[in-house]
Structure 1
Amino acid sequence: MNIKILSAAPNLYSTKRILEVAKKRKHNIEIINHTKCDIVIEKKNPCVYYKGKKIENVDAVIPRIGASVTFYGTAVVRQFEMMRCFTTTESMALVRSRDKLRSLQILSRAGLGLPKTIFTNYSKNVEGIVDQVGGAPVIIKLLEGTQGIGVILAETKKAAESVIEAFNNLQARVIVQEFIKEAGGADIRVIVIDGRVIGAMKRQGKEGEFRSNLHRGGTAEVIQLTDEEETAAIKAAKAMGLDIAGVDMLQSSRGPLILEVNSSPGLEGIETATGIDVAREIIKFIERSV
């Protein structure tokens, strides 16, 4: 099978692992930097050029699109779709997953548990916003943030009001969420592929850190999901239209609460923590689908 990985970072663990597994399974696979692709739009003849050469005879693409290049990366994925190539992440699902606010609205409509969240158009009623999510402490998130960047814990009402006002003055859009104390600075990352849970890990933030991201020094261990947590993860991926997803959730007194559904989940943390060959499951998914 002729497969292309769309990645601007060929040395990343996830990209290298997918490449390695695909080669072992006798596929013809190549990494293409989607930011260097040229899209040619022509009646009944859509095509993509890379390094001056037309890309042809592609069976499947695996988008590994960074958040900073979502717009152009999505355009490249859409062009491959027009060329009738199978993609492990559809362009519309990729766009949805990168819009934090839209994602939460979709997950809410699907009936999934979420931390209570407030979004406003630079409202002056900052005190009311904090009260509506249950008072301090609260989590304040930049809509564009990734990997824990742009996420702030405001421990007092005064601190929360100051942070929100500062972001409003900078015209930086934020969402304000209730703080789930019983989660204890930990969350769960679940990998869902083709409607099935492949593996899950519990990520714990380092001492004094409320963010559990491994990039920020958090630790991870394998976890056995409850039936409710497994169902929530599968339902969240389906609601977002993602065949491959990293679903982040909190354990709370009212059940699992979905934080985010990631369309390009990293493989290093989950493979190291669980010992599961997630890259192999991605390639097997393509084999079943094409």
Structure 2
Amino acid sequence: MKARAFSYFRAETIEQALDAHARAGDDARFIAGGQSLVPALSLRLQAPRLLIDITHIAELRGVERQGDFLRIGALTRHCEMLSEPLIGQFAPLLRAAAPFVAHPAIRNRGTIGGSVALADPASEFPAITLALAAEIEIAGPAGRRRVRADDFFVDLFETALGPGELITAIHVPVFRSNQRFAFDEMARRRGDYALVGCGLLASCEGDRIDDIRIAFFSVGNVPTRVKTVEATLAGATLDPARVAAAQMALEADLAPPESDEVPPAMRLHLARVLLGRLLGRLGEGA
């Protein structure tokens, strides 16, 4: 199939992009890397009359530290997660996840803003924003606002983005010296969507976990924090009994849907195995 005929507008500023969208209404879509939108256009899963190209908006680019946060422009490409020194220093969990995102050709074009806006429940970066307690910077007809990642993901491919709004940046609390992180996923082949994946960030005092955030993906309609597991681990040391208790607590947090690919019980089992691996790394000082 081929995409339906559409008009094209290249915006130079956020204001131009928002104005173009307001004039076109529901028949417009923003496009940057296009790694999800272009296939959807080709299959006519989406058929807008106007594409608004935001790739030339300078304000959406760049990575910089702003006080206690690292501001990552929405147009930051997946491959830049691997090469940008500030991300390696202040948001290393993002760097750890980046090599698992699809394949190099996609990483060279795909953007973090596009990934978070799409909110694919099998994607790495939406879940990592949860684990990092990130804030999503949004511009729209009513002005600008920031939304916590915990409040951003609503349902399957549904987010807190309103009509005509776009993500301008991701704000990540800077990594601290007392924190540890770990990431991994299980997939049939490298580059495939994960059967289950997880990223975690913990604040530690010696061997004791003071605070921890754990986010899973490919286990439901949205990236999911496992708060019962987090409560099981907070204030504890990672001995085998505590790890086993955390693995058992996953059943209270995860309810994988029925799938032709992997039965829910198997996906939950894989999540337990993966959590055990990551907590083992955490205990080793990951």
Alignment TM-score > 0.5, same fold: no
Task: Using structure 2 for the length normalisation, give the TM-score.
Answer: 0.25
Higher RCO (CA-CA < 8 Å; seq separation 6+): 1
